[in-house]
């Protein structure tokens, strides 16, 4: 009976995770505009994980540096994950490509979490955004409750990060394609104007002669 109960609990957990991933996928696929996609995706992550706050950092494609991008949920004047960029915990996660969960920051020896504890947060999860092309950023979740993020949820959080990363790559690719199309259209119009002007000038010169 205990084995059956464990199996049932495991099936319920997997079904819940599949449902969450499906919700994230639907949200990510709603738009190819990063300004729309990212806030909606992070708001959905906050909703499904029941976190209190979340922040997202993207890697600049030119400088390859992590850049603070957006915040959702509870906001305080205290420095939060933004203080952990590059040299801190967020940077470590970006370099290692591995998620980090701190179940109680009051027991953490890291100096980076001091401001978070002062702000009232107790637990934290920092997750890389990985796609086929590599890491594109990092998102962090914060909770006012200790032990809110479980170690057995690392796989779920990683998959959420992967889905958001794919959405980011698709949006960036779309922007590049749109940009290339705009440049091509400008060149076409410019050529047409040039050819038209050449014809007019030729006509004027002929009439003058």
- From edge to edge, which strands make up the β-sheet containing 53-59? 66-73, 53-59, 134-143, 123-131, 100-102
Question: Would you tell me how many other CB atoms lie within 10 Å of the CB of residue 116?
Answer: 27
pLDDT tens over the chain, length 209 residues: 788 888 887 778 788 888 888 888 888 888 889 999 999 999 999 999 999 999 999 998 888 888 889 999 887 554 455 555 666 788 889 889 999 999 999 887 776 777 788 888 999 999 999 988 789 999 999 999 999 999 989 999 999 999 999 999 999 888 888 766 566 666 666 666 656 666 667 667 777 77
Instruction: Tell the burial category of 193 from Cβ atoms under 10 Å away from its Cβ (0-12, 13-18, 19+).
Output: exposed
pTM across the whole model: 0.76
Q: Which residue has the tokens 């914060």?
A: 142
Structure tokens at 11: 């099936």
Which residue, chain included where needed, has tokens 């997202």? 56
């Amino acid at each position: 009976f205990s084995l059956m109960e464990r199996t049932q609990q495991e099936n319920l957990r997997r079904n819940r995770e599949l449902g969450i991933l499906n919700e994230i996928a639907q949200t990510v696929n709603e738009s190819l505009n990063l300004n729309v996609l990212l806030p909606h995706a992070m708001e959905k992550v906050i909703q499904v994980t029941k976190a209190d706050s979340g922040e997202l950092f993207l890697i600049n494609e030119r400088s390859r540096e992590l850049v603070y991008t957006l915040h959702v949920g509870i906001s305080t004047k205290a420095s939060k994950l933004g203080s952990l960029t590059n040299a801190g915990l967020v940077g470590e996660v970006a370099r290692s490509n591995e998620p980090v969960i701190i179940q109680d920051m009051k027991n953490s020896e890291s100096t980076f979490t001091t401001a978070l504890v002062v702000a009232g947060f107790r637990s934290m999860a920092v997750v890389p955004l990985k796609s086929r092309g590599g890491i594109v950023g990092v998102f962090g979740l914060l909770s006012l409750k200790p032990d809110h993020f479980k170690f057995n949820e690392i796989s779920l959080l990683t998959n959420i990060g992967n889905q958001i990363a794919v959405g980011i790559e698709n949006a960036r690719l779309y922007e590049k394609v749109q940009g290339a199309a705009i440049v091509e259209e400008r060149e076409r119009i410019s050529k047409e104007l040039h050819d038209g002007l050449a014809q007019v000038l030729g006509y004027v010169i002929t009439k003058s002669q």
